[in-house]
Every structure is written in structure tokens, then in C-alpha cells.
Amino acid sequence: MFGFIGGNKGIFNQKWIKITRENISNYVNQSGFHLLGRSSDRLRTAQDFALTQETCKKLDLDGLILIGASHTLTDAALLADHFLKENIKTVVNCVPCTIDNNIHYKDL
């Protein structure tokens, strides 16, 4: 498993670390922001998709997990659609996560 340093910037610039028991032990149950950082960059343009595709191919990734709120959910959907059209093997998933309470489930 790899973590991208600085969030999307790490994907775009191919800056990652391999996640190991040793380097994650101090961060267990404390989120990933402190270990990897984050960015507010979005995955929306053809260039963003191309850079992400290049990184996924270089690492031979079976899956890519994006973690975030409404913008990240949109990015994941758009990127997954792009990967399907380009026949990229990397499966794109998204884990909903927010500090702004801008995504939620409402009981019906």
C-alpha cells in the first residue's frame, strides 16, 4: 500500500511512500493528515487524469482510494469513468470523510 504525500499533489508529482507498520505506528487512529498531508487540488482536468493514470500505471495499482467529502466524491466518480473509458485496470474507490459535516446519511 502506498500513500501519496500531499494528497493529489503526490499523485500528480509521483511522490509517495510505502505504508509499513513502522512508519504508520505513530499515526494509528489519528487520521492520515499528519503522515501524508493533503491538498485541496481536484481531479477534474484532462491533465489531472493523465498524471493520475501515469502514476497508477507506474505503481501497477489495482486500486486507488480517495478520501474526502463532496468534491472528492465527484473527483472519484469522474476519475473512475475516465479509467473505464481508457481501459485502466486501477479501480477507483472513495471513502467519505468530512470535517465540515457537508455529507451525511439521512434516515428515511
Residues involved in catalysis: 100
Largest Cα–Cα distance in the chain? 44
Q: What CA–CA distances, in Å, run from 77 to 32, 56, 108?
A: 22, 16, 25
Closest by CA to 64, choosing from 93, 32, 39, is 93
DSSP bridge pairs for 63: 91
**What are the counts of helices (DSSP H) followed by strands (DSSP E) for the chain?**
5, 4
